[in-house]
C-alpha cells in the first residue's frame, strides 16, 4: 500500500499532550503504531503494520533530512528532527520527532523507535524555509543520487552556518 493522496493545504492538528509513537524494523517497515499515530495519519493500525514508514512522507520534505536521520540512527545515536508528514487524506501535520535505535540483549540494533510531539510553531516557521531551499536544490538534479548529495550539502551548509552542531540547532529553533 502506498499513499495515493494528493497533498492539500489543510493542516491536521493534534493535542500538545499527545505523543505519536511508532516502531520499525531495520528497513523502516512499521511494526507498531499507537492510537494517536493512527488517528492523526488516518490509517488503521492494520493498514500501517508492515508498511514503510515513508507511507506518511510529505513531498515537501527533502530527502536530505531523512539521510541525516538514517545516518544518525544507523550509527547507534538518537536524533531529533522536525518533519512534515502527510495524512492519508493528503492533509499535512508537523512533528518534532525523537528517533532512537532499539537493541537486542546482545547490543545489536534490531529496529527503531520514534516518539513525535507537536512542535512549537516558531520552530516550524524557522525550519520550513530551510527545507524548501534544500528541496529546491534536490529538484535541480535529474539524477537521484546527485540530488540527494546536493540537498545534503545544502542542509549541512545551513547547519554549519549556524555555528552550532545539528543536535543543538534543532532545540534552538
Domain ranges of the chain: 20-162
Query: Bridge partners of 21?
Result: 115
Strands (E), the chain: 20-24, 30-33, 79-86, 92-103, 109-117
Q: Which residues does 2 contact at the CB level (< 8 Å), separation at least 6?
A: 55
Q: Is 155 exposed, middle or buried (0-12, 13-18, 19+ CB in 10 A)?
A: buried
CA distance 19 to 130: 25
Is CATH 3.30.450.20 correct for 20-162? yes
**What string of pLDDT tens digits covers the 173 residues of the chain?**
544 789 999 999 999 999 999 999 999 999 999 999 999 999 999 999 999 999 999 999 999 999 999 999 999 999 999 999 999 999 999 999 999 999 999 999 999 999 999 999 999 999 999 999 999 999 999 999 999 999 999 999 999 999 999 999 999 99
Amino acid at each position: 500500500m502506498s499513499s495515493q493522496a494528493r497533498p492539500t493545504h489543510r493542516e491536521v492538528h493534534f493535542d500538545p499532550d499527545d505523543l505519536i509513537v511508532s516502531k520499525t524494523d531495520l528497513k523502516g517497515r512499521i511494526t507498531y503504531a499507537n492510537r494517536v499515530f493512527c488517528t492523526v495519519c488516518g490509517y488503521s493500525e492494520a493498514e500501517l503494520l508492515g508498511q514503510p514508514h515513508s507511507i506518511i512522507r510529505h513531498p515537501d520534505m527533502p530527502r536530505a533530512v531523512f539521510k541525516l536521520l538514517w545516518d544518525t540512527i544507523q550509527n547507534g545515536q538518537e536524533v531529533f528532527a522536525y518533519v512534515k508528514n502527510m495524512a492519508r487524506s493528503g492533509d499535512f501535520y508537523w512533528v518534532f520527532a525523537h528517533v532512537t535505535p532499539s537493541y537486542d540483549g546482545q547490543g545489536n540494533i534490531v529496529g527503531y523507535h520514534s516518539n513525535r510531539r507537536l512542535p512549537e510553531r516558531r520552530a516550524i516557521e524557522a525550519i520550513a524555509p530551510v527545507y524548501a531551499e534544500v528541496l529546491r536544490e534536490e529538484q535541480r538534479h535529474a539524477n537521484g543520487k546527485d540530488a540527494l548529495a546536493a540537498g545534503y550539502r545544502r542542509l549541512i551548509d545551513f547547519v554549519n552556518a549556524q555555528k552550532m552542531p545539528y543536535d543543538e540547532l534543532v532545540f534552538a529553533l
